[in-house]
Structure formats: structure tokens, C-alpha cells
Structure 1
Amino acid sequence: MSNSYGGGGGGGYSRTSYGAGGAEDGGGFMYGGSQGGSQSAGKGYSDESLRPVTIKQIIDAHQAYPEAPFRIDDIEVSQVTFVGMVRAISPQTTNTTFKLDDGTGMLEVKQWLDVDKQDDSKPSFALDQYVRVWGRLKSFNNNRHVGAHVIKPVTDFNEVNYHLLEATYVHLFFTKGAPGAAGGDAGGDGDSMFVDGGYGGGADGGGASEDKLRNISAKGKKFYHWLFNANGGNEGLNVHVISQGTGMSIQDVLAASEELISPGLIYTTVDDDTFAILDN
């Protein structure tokens, strides 16, 4: 089953689905299927896209007014999937609230209980375990959360890295254009573009001139290119997120950060382990 991101004019980019099946998962959710009751008239699930995101993207999503659709990269988004570590579990009478952390932020996820299924009140995962969530963006009293259709434990840590890469790729697709388009890299592989820094931005793939990167090691350049293209904003990205995105060890990321801080290419933001690009 293919999965198309866009829903609102972005169009054109398709990837494989995430396997959030309907009946076999017991979550009642299938991308491209139908969902009764909670859906507004005239717009079915088949008209919407399922987008991979980070928690920071959800927190920063634009909403013109309280009931307006959420927009990420100026594209309307309602259904999302993301991966995060379970930091808290709060069982309630009608739902279970989870606090998830993916290294870019913390977000509440609410899973409503099915009174016909006794096992719904018992999560199949524990604290400090990674899970993948499929759900819908919600806002209540100016607090954002995701109403979960399906929550599944992550059994292979590669899924954590893969999700971050795909979320970054989709972000670049909507902000910089499709591979091969103006400003893109016609010859590169989609998932390697932002890891190795080859997505737009000239020969060095980032905001620094080649002269400033001349004495930087290969790992330092990889760090810089990835961080530049990841667009972490003024808050920057945590060392763990950078490690996952670049495929580098934490030790290599920290060593590269010291190499890049010295010439003023990056700087620390909220703490000593969070870095952002220094605009020159």
C-alpha cells in the first residue's frame, strides 16, 4: 500500500505505508480507509495524508485559529506518525495518556479505551521503551496532543533512525523541492541527501563556504551538513537526534561538535548537548 504526502497542494511524493493495519491491529485505523463518527462531513480519511513528523514539528505546527487545520511546512496535516520514548503512562477511566519524548520535544498521546476489549487498559510496552504512534493532531485548551489510533512497541531500533530520516526527507521535499528539481540533487538517493549533506545549498550542501569547511574532518562536515538541512531553528537539535540522523556515534558527534564550535560554524543552545547552525 503506497502512502502519499501532500494533501493540500504538496503532492507527488509517495513512500511505502507503515503497516498500521486495521482489523489485525485492533486499532480500527487504516490509511486510505474509512472511519465513522469522528470524521467531519464531506471529508473522509481517504482524502487525507499520513505524514511522518517529529514532536517539534507538531509543537511548531501553525494553526490560524483554534478550529483551523494544522499546517506543517505550509501543508495541511491532520494524521501523523512518529516514534518516541515513553516517559510517563497515566491510565484514566476512558483513556490512557502517554508522554512521549523523541529528542526534539515532549508530547502527550491519548489512546481512548474500547469498553468491549478488556485488554485495552494494559499497554503492551513499558516506560523508557520506544513506540510508534499513528494518530490525529488535536488541540484542547491551547494544549496540543495526538489522539492515537494505534500505538505499537518498536522492536528494531533501526526504525527510530529510519523514521527521523524519513521525517527529514519529507520536510526537505516540501521546503526545498523534489529530488531533481531546481535546488535539488538530481543524481542522489533520496534518503542519503540530508545525511551526507548533498541536498541543495551549493557544493558544500550547507550554509558555510568551502573555505570554512576546508580544515574540518569528514565527520565534522557530515555533522554540519545534516544539521544545516535538518532545520532545527534557533533551538537546535539534541546530540541524540543528530546521532540518529547522521548514523554517527554519540562520541563522534561530540568530537565533531567541538571541531565546528571553534571556527564559529555551530553553537550550543538550550544546553551543552544541543546544537544549532550559526548564521554567517
Structure 2
Amino acid sequence: MSESGFERDGSSTFGGSSYQSSEGGGDSYQPSEGGAAPMLKAQRPRARIQNIVPCCVNQLLTSTLIADVFKIRGIVVSQVSIVGIIRGAEKASNHIRYKIDDMTSKPIEARVWLGREKAKQMTPLPVGVYVKVFGILKGSVETKSLEVLKIHVLEDMNEFTVHILETVNAHMMLEKAQQAATGESASVAPSEMNDPSDNKEDRLDLIRKEVLRLILECPLQEGKSIHELQTQLSGLSVEVIKQAIDYLTFEGHIYPTVDREHFKSAD
């Protein structure tokens, strides 16, 4: 394990989940065990995945580029993972180009390089499905995109929730590691979190969107309970969930039903 605690045997682990890259030259759809959704492996990128940072699209698009290195609030990012919905899919002569939207910003372009022969055989994943993408952040200050290492359709929307929690947890851990490396006191963090321009706002936005999604999907007449939200968002405290509910209620996105513990979407 590395000193930061993020690497072990070529895998990256955040919040209890891990992803191990393949060094083989797999370049086709491969169903996982149990007839699960197909997985597409890109032929061109050969870099071994080690430190994968879970991110939201907004973090990637607003990252800074200094000396050919992308940074999010001073944290170096290269190999990342995102979860979102495919808004567009276009087949080119040697690659497939997707537009991935996680609703934190405008969609980001993600390219799967295949080679001319493989590109002729491959059919793009359908528009409208949720996918998880592992890729390398590329581009310039103005334009950023992902060079896809692996992409697969979500089998369970809980994967979306897990990714949100992993994103929040990973960036908190990375910030603490950075503070320790630079000799900064971790006690500085609470005051920084009050700054609207701070990365904390990105985390809050992710949490609010996930709470709203879970409430929106609840079919019960009385709506979603705070207890149910806490069960599904087990990585978050009830205080954080209530703060998200208060915000969504104030903004008119949700409303209480039978009591102050149950909420429905106003949409």
C-alpha cells in the first residue's frame, strides 16, 4: 500500500469498493458473470489503472491545467471515474464518442478508441442508459474530455449512489492527505468549507441531487422517509441528509407529506 493509502496491488480503493484494471488487450464487449450488462474495453489506452479518483463531471470541467497536469483544488487528477447518463453516442472511423451527463454541469465528451476494424464491428451503447466510465482526463484549459479505459452500463442504480459517496469520501481523504503533506493543519478545513467557492459546494450539490433522485423515485403515497434515505445513503450522517432536505424544501423541489419525516418530489 502506498503512503496515502489509496493504492494496493495496482488497484484503487475508496469507501470500501475497488477497481482492478486489466492488462490484457481486451477490446470488445464482454458480459460479466450472471449475464450482466456488457462491458466495453478500449484498445488504445494501455496505462495500468492505479490511482482512480471518483469525480463528478463539474469537477473535471472546472479543473485547472498547470504544466500539463490537471488539478482539482490543488489535487492532481489523471485517471478518474464518473457515473452519468449517455446523452449522445456517435460512431467514428476509429472510435466511439459519447456525451456523459451527471447533471452537475454540461456533459463531458468521452472517447473509446478501438481501431478501424473494431470500430466497424462495434455498436455504441444506447442513449439514455446510465454508465460508469473509467478514463484519463485529457484536453486543454478550454476543452476537456475523457479517454475511456473502460465503460459499463449500471446494473443497479445503487451504483450511482455508491459513486456519489465515494466521490465525497475520496476528495475529503485526498484533501486531508494534501494538508498533511504540506504541513497544514486539518483543523483549517471547517472554515474553508464555509466558502461558497470551496470544493465543499460540489459535495453538497452531489448529496442534494442524490437525495432528490431517491425521493423522486419513491412510488409511495406518503413519500420517502428520512430513515429510508439514511439506510440507502449509509455513508452520510442524518444531519447531512436533513440539511439537504431543508435546502430542497426551501428551493421548492420537495415537500413534506404525512409528517416532517416523509417527503415527496414537487416535480
TM-score range, shorter chain: 0.5 to 0.7
Letter in 2 for 1:232: E
Secondary structure of the structure 1 residue equivalent to 2:65: coil
d(CA) in 2 for partners of 1:238 and 1:86?
A: 21
d(CA) in 2 for partners of 1:36 and 1:25?
A: 7
Once the two structures are aligned, what percentage of the paired residues are identical? 20
Query: Deviation string for 1:191-250 (max 9, x for gaps)?
Result: xxxxxxxxx849xxx86xxxxxxxxxxxxxxxxxxx9x9722599558533446xxx524
Structure 2 residue aligned with 1:189:
none
Structure 2 residue aligned with 1:130:
130
TM-score by length of 2: 0.59
Tell me, yes or no, if the aligned pair for 2:90 and 2:97 is still in contact at 8 Å: yes
Structure 2 residue aligned with 1:110:
111
Q: Which has the higher contact order (CA 8 A, sep 6+)?
A: 2
Secondary structure of the structure 2 residue equivalent to 1:18: strand
d(CA) in 2 for partners of 1:156 and 1:234?
A: 22
Tell me, yes or no, if the aligned pair for 1:177 and 1:183 is still in contact at 8 Å: no
Letter in 1 for 2:6: Y
Q: What is the deviation of 1:175?
A: 2.3
d(CA) in 1 for partners of 2:60 and 2:159?
A: 20
Tell me, yes or no, if the aligned pair for 1:98 and 1:110 is still in contact at 8 Å: yes
Tell me, yes or no, if the aligned pair for 2:73 and 2:199 is still in contact at 8 Å: no
Within 5 Å, give how 1:74-223 maps onto structure 2: 74-105=74-105, 106-117=107-118, 120-123=121-124, 125-139=125-139, 142-176=142-176, 183=186, 201=190
> Which sits farther off after the overlay, 140-149 or 99-108?
140-149
d(CA) in 2 for partners of 1:240 and 1:167?
A: 13
Structure 2 residue aligned with 1:52:
54
Cα gap change, 1:74/1:144 in structure 2, threshold over 3 Å: closer, same or farther?
same
Letter in 2 for 1:51: V
> Which sits farther off after the overlay, 166-175 or 46-55?
46-55
Structure 2 residue aligned with 1:17:
18
Secondary structure of the structure 1 residue equivalent to 2:104: coil
d(CA) in 1 for partners of 2:43 and 2:248?
A: 53
Letter in 2 for 1:249: I
d(CA) in 1 for partners of 2:120 and 2:248?
A: 51
Q: What is the deviation of 1:60?
A: 1.5
Between the two proteins, the alignment pairs up a number of residues equal to: 202
RMSD, matched Cα: 4.4
Secondary structure of the structure 1 residue equivalent to 2:66: coil
d(CA) in 1 for partners of 2:246 and 2:44?
A: 55
Cα gap change, 1:115/1:165 in structure 2, threshold over 3 Å: closer, same or farther?
same
Q: Structure 2 residue aligned with 1:232, among 201, 221, 229? A: 201
Letter in 2 for 1:63: L
Gap runs ≥5 in structure 2? 8-12, 29-41, 179-184, 217-222, 227-240, 254-267
